[in-house]
Chains A and B, each alone.
Chain A
Amino acid sequence: MTAADWITAVLLPTGALFALVGTVGLVRFPTLLGRMHAAAKPDTVGLFLLLAGAACQLPDLRSAAPLVLVALFQAATVAVLAQTLGRVAYSRGEIDERHLVADELADAVERARKDAD
């Protein structure tokens, strides 16, 4: 076992654990927005850790370059998706107010409507 092997041995299970815990949250959270938080983003952290762990097992830098590309794509796509899905969820009214301590967007919409009248 080299040092790189040990790093891999730590990073891979940690990354997979992040992904697994995220999916547990996806099953257990009672609200749609909660599930969205739990699903996509711990998975992304997990994927980053897996990528770092996998990079340690590759023979040279050249074969590790595509992994950087995957990380970049994942970072860009997860942000766009999270935002799009969040807005769609809000516009469809699939927000559970019982699990919101504040909704300042609804307040602002309400204020704007009053001002218009």
Chain B
Amino acid sequence: MTESPGTSASAVPAARVWWRRLAARLPTVAWLTAMWVVLWGDPSPGTVVAGAAVAALCYSAARLPHIPVRLGFRPLHALRLAARVAYDMLVSSLRVAFHGVWRPRRTNGAIVAVPMRTDSDFLLAILSALLSMVTGTLVIELNRNQRVVYVHGLPVNDAGAVRGLRAQVRRTEELLVRAFGTAEDLEIFERLAGLPEEAEAAAAAAAGRAAGEHTRREGE
């Protein structure tokens, strides 16, 4: 994780934004409380109050940086995304299992650069988590400035499979942006998706070169 970016509270009088700060942190506390209640297995008011107290105490003691969440939500596309990921998980598990049992020595992988068409930190983080959850794919590296993810795929034995892997990643990306992107994310996506693939890659590379960017190791 990088250093905490510093909340905007320093610029504005604290009294005016304290409730906003509280509201922004409330979902995390609510989630911690829900976990507490589930683990106690007893949704009585006492448990809930105690859980909320412990959650609030831990959260304020930890002084975690607060990152504003900017996401949209379109239920239909979210369902399609969930179905897609579940399907990918099952099918690619079977494929990797088949290759592992019958011909592990003749199974190759590939590290493929996939240019992304979204520029949101959140969406990219969710995307790489989704990709890493699916059996055949694994995100090795993320070049944030050029918006390229480097995905290791398995099994990938020829150029056709490389194209297939890239298409699979970009399809997941598209569904993710349509499901959880804000209107702005979607607009950027549509604009970049209109470009032919080579032009897009060249534009990304040119932008990276202009900035003098190396493929940098992404710090956790």
A and B touch in the complex (CB under 8 A): yes
What residues make up the interface of A, taking CB atoms closer than 8 Å to B? 18, 21-22, 24-26, 28-31, 33-34, 36-38, 41-42, 44-45, 62-63, 65-66, 68-69, 75-76, 78-80, 82-84, 86-87, 90-91, 95, 99-109, 112-113, 115-116
Q: Of the listed stretches B64-72, B98-106, B172-180, B187-195, name the one at the interface; the rest are far from the partner chain.
A: B98-106
With A63-B41, A66-B39 as given contacts, are A37 and B154 in contact (CB-CB < 8 Å)?
yes
With A21-B101, A108-B143 as given contacts, are A101 and B214 in contact (CB-CB < 8 Å)?
no
Q: Residue B54 at the A interface, CB < 8 A?
A: no
Option from B35, B135, B140, B161 in Cβ contact (under 8 Å) with A105: B140
A104 to B90, CA, bound (A): 27
Q: Of the listed stretches B21-29, B73-81, B124-132, name the one at the interface; the rest are far from the partner chain.
A: B124-132
Q: Residue B7 at the A interface, CB < 8 A?
A: no
What residues make up the interface of B, taking CB atoms closer than 8 Å to A? 35, 38-39, 41, 43, 89-90, 93, 96-97, 99-101, 104-105, 107-113, 128-130, 132-136, 138-141, 143, 148, 150, 152, 154, 156-159, 161-162, 209, 212-215, 217-218, 220
Given contacts A86-B140, A116-B214, 12 further A-B contacts (CB under 8 A): A24-B100, A25-B97, A38-B100, A41-B89, A69-B38, A83-B132, A84-B220, A86-B138, A102-B112, A102-B156, A103-B111, A108-B215
Contact B96 A37 (CB under 8 A): yes
A78 to B159, CA, bound (A): 29
Which residue of chain B has its CB nearest to the CB of A29? B104
With A69-B35, A102-B162 as given contacts, are A30 and B140 in contact (CB-CB < 8 Å)?
no
Option from A26, A28, A42, A79 in Cβ contact (under 8 Å) with B129: A79
With A25-B100, A79-B129 as given contacts, are A104 and B89 in contact (CB-CB < 8 Å)?
no
Contact B41 A62 (CB under 8 A): yes
Q: List 24 A-B contacts (CB under 8 A).
A: A25-B99, A37-B154, A38-B97, A42-B93, A42-B96, A44-B89, A45-B135, A66-B38, A66-B39, A69-B38, A79-B130, A79-B132, A86-B152, A91-B217, A101-B110, A101-B156, A101-B158, A105-B113, A105-B140, A105-B215, A108-B148, A113-B214, A115-B209, A116-B214
